[in-house]
């Protein structure tokens, strides 16, 4: 897969840009099921008849609301921009924009593709992160070198915070999957030997390295002691494999506020304690545990997903 897009590929003027599909932002389960069962005409009629009825918030709605709250009052330049991508037509998508207005979300840019794939527009908008309910769209974005995740049906965390709280898995998400390949192919003992022997060699960057760097840059706009953003690494690694992770992040000059080395424990309860607004992981086993506790995005990247 390609490396993360460079700044030249992302003309975003230093903003954090997140592209999100309408099915991740709003609860479109009923209308999507109608489309699958009865076809486009029934879907179009359903949406136009209800275009003044606000859609219910979807899994990623709280995340988007917190992201947009990071912006200073206008006319100061925005720190964060959220782009809406939808396979609706502009006509059937009017209900989506009406819902955005109803909830007071500052989302002005959008692409309505009338059934065509939305992922190609992610790079055009300069987004560093793409969230979708469509796994194929997510895979296409990852192949293009953009951090992307499939938003899964999930439970909202019981512990809420005014802070934006984002948690990441390490290998095959923030980092490359070279160490995970050793674990999968040669076993856990070989993995630990590999990490001890290469502790001073930084890990390669994974698909979310660029997004993490952009998030870190955004954090630097706020005092550390009162930052509205908090990040966490939540990894199955444990000692002695922790050292290489810490030294890699130091080498990159990136700060993570919390690091949980769980040694294979289920991640869900720890993510709930952290109060994650979203958690990103490549492992289907881990996301199944996580989504029972917090909003979760599956990153179909690396050796576990081949």
Catalytic amino acids?
A: 169
State how far the alpha carbon of 129 is from the alpha carbons of 85, 119, 177, 184, 192, in Å. 12, 11, 19, 28, 31
- Nearest CA to 233 out of 245, 247, 243 is that of 245
**Cα torsion for 248, 253, 257, 260, to the nearest 10°?**
0
Dihedral of the alpha carbons of 249, 251, 163, 171, in degrees to the nearest 10: -30
User: What strands, in cross-sheet order, belong to the sheet with 258-261?
Assistant: 110-112, 80-86, 16-21, 129-132, 147-152, 296-298, 278-281, 164-168, 229-235, 258-261
| C-alpha to C-alpha distance for 129 and 19, rounded to whole angstroms | 6
Distance CA 239, CA 192 (A): 9
74 burial via Cβ count (<10 Å: 0-12, 13-18, 19+): exposed
In whole angstroms, give the CA distance from residue 238 to residue 261: 5
| Structural tokens at position 38 | 């009865």
Give the closest residue to 300 by CA, choosing from 164, 214, 208, 237: 208
- State the helix-helix crossing angle for 94-102 and 40-49, rounded to 10 degrees: 30
Provide the CA 127 distance to its chain's centre, in angstroms. Answer: 12
């Amino acid at each position: 897969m390609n490396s993360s897009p460079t700044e030249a590929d992302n003309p975003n003027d230093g903003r954090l840009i997140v592209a999100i599909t309408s099915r991740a932002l709003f609860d479109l389960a009923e209308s999507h099921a109608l489309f699958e069962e009865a076809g486009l005409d029934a879907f179009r009629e359903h949406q136009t008849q209800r275009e003044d009825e606000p859609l219910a918030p979807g899994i990623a709605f709280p995340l988007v609301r917190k992201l947009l709250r990071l912006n200073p009052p206008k006319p100061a330049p925005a720190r964060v921009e959220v782009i809406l991508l939808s396979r609706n037509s502009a006509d059937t998508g009017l209900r989506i924009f009406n819902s955005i207005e109803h909830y007071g979300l500052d989302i002005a840019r959008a692409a309505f593709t009338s059934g065509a794939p939305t992922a190609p527009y992610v790079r055009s908008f300069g987004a560093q992160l793409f969230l979708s309910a469509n796994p194929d769209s997510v895979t296409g974005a990852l192949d293009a070198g953009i951090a992307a995740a499939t938003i899964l049906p999930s439970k909202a965390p019981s512990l809420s915070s005014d802070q934006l709280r984002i948690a990441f898995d390490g290998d095959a998400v923030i980092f490359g999957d070279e160490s995970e390949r050793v674990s999968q192919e040669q076993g856990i003992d070989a993995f630990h030997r590999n990490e001890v022997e290469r502790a001073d060699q930084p890990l390669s960057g994974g698909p979310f390295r660029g997004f993490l760097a952009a998030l870190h840059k955004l954090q630097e706009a706020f005092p550390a002691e009162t930052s509205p953003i908090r990040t966490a690494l939540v990894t199955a690694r444990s000692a002695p494999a922790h050292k290489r992770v810490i030294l890699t992040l130091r080498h990159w000059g990136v700060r993570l506020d919390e690091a949980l080395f769980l040694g294979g424990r289920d991640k869900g309860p720890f993510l709930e304690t952290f109060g994650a607004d979203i958690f990103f992981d490549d492992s289907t086993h881990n996301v199944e545990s996580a989504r029972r506790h917090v909003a979760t995005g599956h990153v179909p990247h690396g050796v576990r997903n081949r």
